[in-house]
C-alpha cells in the first residue's frame, strides 16, 4: 500500500505542471485561431480577397504579343469546374490562333487526358494540333517536362491555368528555361444579376432575418472567405517554391 500511495503521489505531482502547461497551450492556440478567424471575417467584408486573387492572376505578366504555343495545365479531376474552365479558355485561344500547337499537361490516367482532348476538339481545336504530356505531379515538374520536350518554342508560350496558380506557373516555367512564358488566366465570370427576391412571397418566416436584398451577405461575403483560403494556400506554395529556387 505504501508503494501504491507513493506512486499515486508521484503521478499527481507530475500531472499538475503538465496539466497547467497543456491548459496554457490550449488557451494560446484558441487565441491564435480566434484572432485569425476574426481577421478573415473582417477581410471578407472588404475587397482585399478579390484584389489578392486578381494579383495572383496578373502579376507575372499576361500574354500581350504573339503566341507560338498554348499550354493548358491540368491538375483537377475531369470533368470538374476548374478543369473545364481551363479547357474552355485554352480552346478560345487556340481558335483565335489557328496555326499554333496546343499542349496539354496533366499527370493523370489516360482516361482523364482523353476527356480533356475530347473537350478541346468539341470546342473547335483540331486533334492533330494537340500534343499530350502525361507527366508532371506539380507545376515545377510540368515546367521541366515541357522545357525538355524537343523543338518547343521559348517565346510566346501562353500558359492557361487557374488565376490563383498563374503567378507561380509563369515564374516556374521561366525558371525552367521557357523565358517567353506568359499567362492566360481562366477567370470565372460572375452573373450580372441582382438576385433579389420577395421574402414573404416565397414563404419566408416573419421571425427570420430578411436578407432578400442583401446579396453581399448571401454571396459575396462567403465567396471572399473561400478566396482567402485559396490565396493563403497559394502564397504558401509560392514561399515553398522560392525556398527551393523553383521560381
| Contact indicator for 175, 238 with CB cutoff of 8 Å | no
Select the more confidently predicted residue: 164 or 189: 164
Helix (H, G, I), strand (E, B) or coil at 15: helix
| Contact indicator for 130, 117 with CB cutoff of 8 Å | yes
In whole angstroms, give the CA distance from residue 103 to residue 86.
Answer: 12
For the chain, which domains are there? 62-188+233-244 (3.40.50.620)
Handedness of CA 75, 80, 81, 85 (dihedral sign): positive
| pLDDT in the model for residue 130 | 94
pTM of the prediction? 0.83
| Contact indicator for 176, 146 with CB cutoff of 8 Å | yes
Give the range among 5-14, 60-69, 149-158, 187-196 with minimum mean pLDDT.
Answer: 5-14
**Residue from 168, 189, 139 nearest 55 by CA:** 168
**Residue from 175, 112, 171, 105 nearest 142 by CA:** 105
Q: Distance of alpha carbon 167 from its chain centroid, rounded?
A: 11
**Residue from 47, 82, 45, 107 nearest 186 by CA:** 82
Select the more confidently predicted residue: 88 or 196: 88
Amino acid at each position: 500500500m505504501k508503494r501504491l500511495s507513493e506512486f499515486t503521489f508521484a503521478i499527481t505531482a507530475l500531472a499538475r505542471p503538465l496539466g497547467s502547461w497543456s491548459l496554457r497551450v490550449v488557451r494560446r492556440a484558441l487565441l491564435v485561431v480566434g484572432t485569425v478567424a476574426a481577421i478573415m471575417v473582417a477581410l471578407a467584408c472588404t475587397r482585399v480577397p478579390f484584389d489578392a486573387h486578381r494579383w495572383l492572376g496578373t502579376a507575372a505578366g499576361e500574354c500581350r504579343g504573339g503566341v507560338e504555343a498554348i499550354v493548358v495545365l491540368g491538375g483537377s479531376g475531369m470533368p470538374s469546374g476548374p478543369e473545364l474552365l481551363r479547357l474552355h479558355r485554352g480552346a478560345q485561344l487556340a481558335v483565335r490562333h489557328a496555326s499554333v500547337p496546343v499542349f496539354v499537361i496533366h499527370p493523370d490516367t489516360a482516361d482523364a487526358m482523353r476527356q480533356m482532348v475530347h473537350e478541346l476538339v468539341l470546342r473547335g481545336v483540331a486533334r492533330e494540333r494537340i500534343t499530350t504530356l502525361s507527366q508532371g505531379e506539380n507545376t515545377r515538374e510540368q515546367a521541366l517536362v515541357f522545357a525538355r520536350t524537343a523543338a518547343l518554342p521559348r517565346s510566346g508560350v501562353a500558359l492557361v491555368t487557374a488565376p490563383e496558380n498563374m503567378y507561380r506557373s509563369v515564374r516556374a516555367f521561366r525558371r525552367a528555361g521557357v523565358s517567353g512564358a506568359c499567362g492566360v488566366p481562366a477567370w470565372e465570370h460572375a452573373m450580372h444579376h441582382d438576385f433579389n427576391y420577395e421574402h414573404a412571397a416565397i414563404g419566408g418566416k416573419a421571425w427570420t432575418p430578411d436578407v432578400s436584398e442583401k446579396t453581399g451577405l448571401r454571396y459575396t461575403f462567403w465567396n471572399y472567405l473561400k478566396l482567402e483560403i485559396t490565396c493563403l494556400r497559394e502564397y504558401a506554395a509560392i514561399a515553398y517554391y522560392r525556398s527551393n529556387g523553383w521560381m
